[in-house]
Amino acid sequence: MRNASQKLIIAAFPEISRTLAQRRARRCFVIGPNSVSSKLVINGLQKTFVVNEGFGHSRHVHAIENVNLEIADGEFVCVIGPSGCGKSTMLMIMAGLYPKSGGDILLDGQPLSEPGLNRGMVFQDFALFPWLSVRENILYGVKQKKIPEDKHNGIVDHYIGMMSLQGFEHTFPNRLSGGMRQRVAIARALALDPELLLMDEPFGALDAQTRGNLQQVLVDVWEQTRKTVMFITHDVREATFLADRVIVMSARPGRITEEIKVNLPRPRDILAPEFVEIERRLASLIESQNDSSNN
């Protein structure tokens, strides 16, 4: 326990507080999957929302309870679970958009608590700036990162090519299909060269054909970049197709109940017996969580 004088010193000198936080981060550094150093570490994460019901009444909703997870550098992890289990809430906390109620999140050994340019975020609803063209949307984060201006065109051209957006550079989002908008959103996130790519059901609003195409595009991009990815989905087939490892969460309050490694070579055949077996297993795990939440 710190005494009063220690607390006053820390309050007066913020750099001391930062140093202590860094030391705590180093103590929390752990070994993740396959006995390699973890890129991302989540220790005892908790989230409780206080819901104002009016007339001076409120209630507490426990969204996430004691989530512990390590993700290796370059690993593609999908998170699935029943609706309302806290999957997206966990991602928003990692992005720094929601405050956590307890626990620690470390990226490269450093605590995460605020938004930062070391993370790229792709939302389900595209979240593009409607007044900016495709090129300007992709360039936005590059400018925020203070990358030298003479490198801007090369970076944007690279990701326009990677996401097959040639010919649409000067088009505004309202003139694009849903699939094309999400290609822009992914290109914008990648242009930051983030340490961690966070994806919140990015293909959930798309038709089946476009969704399938973009799933393959994402796999191709991941194989080129080897970014560390956390991908939220409700779709067990999507999780099986994309992931190195699938994290299954319980009904609210969300906890991790199972981790399934997908040791299938890419490209993956969705009709292969091994693929179908993993898909069925994940579906059964989700169904069991839905059943338990209804009892």
pLDDT number for residue 289 = 80
User: Structure tokens of 146?
Assistant: 């203070």
pLDDT number for residue 117 = 94
Q: Which residue has the higher pLDDT, 163 or 15?
A: 163
Phi, psi of 45 (to 5 degrees): -65, 135
Q: Which residues pair with 107 in a beta bridge?
A: 40, 110
CA distance 250 to 291: 11
Contacts of 157 (CB under 8 A, 6+ apart): none
Pairing of strands 245-249, 256-261: antiparallel
User: Is the per-residue pLDDT at 27 higher than 60?
Assistant: no
pLDDT number for residue 90 = 96
pLDDT number for residue 26 = 37
Evaluate whether 283 touches 234 at the Cβ level (below 8 Å).
no
User: Is the per-residue pLDDT at 55 higher than 60?
Assistant: yes
Domains of the chain plus CATH, in order, are 28-118+194-294 (3.40.50.300)
% of the chain residues with pLDDT over 70:
86
Nearest to 158 by CA among 228, 76, 225: 225
User: Is the per-residue pLDDT at 167 higher than 70?
Assistant: yes
The string of pLDDT tens digits covering residues 187-241 is: 999 999 999 999 999 999 899 999 999 999 999 999 999 999 999 999 999 999 9
Tell me what the pLDDT averaged over the chain comes to. Answer: 88
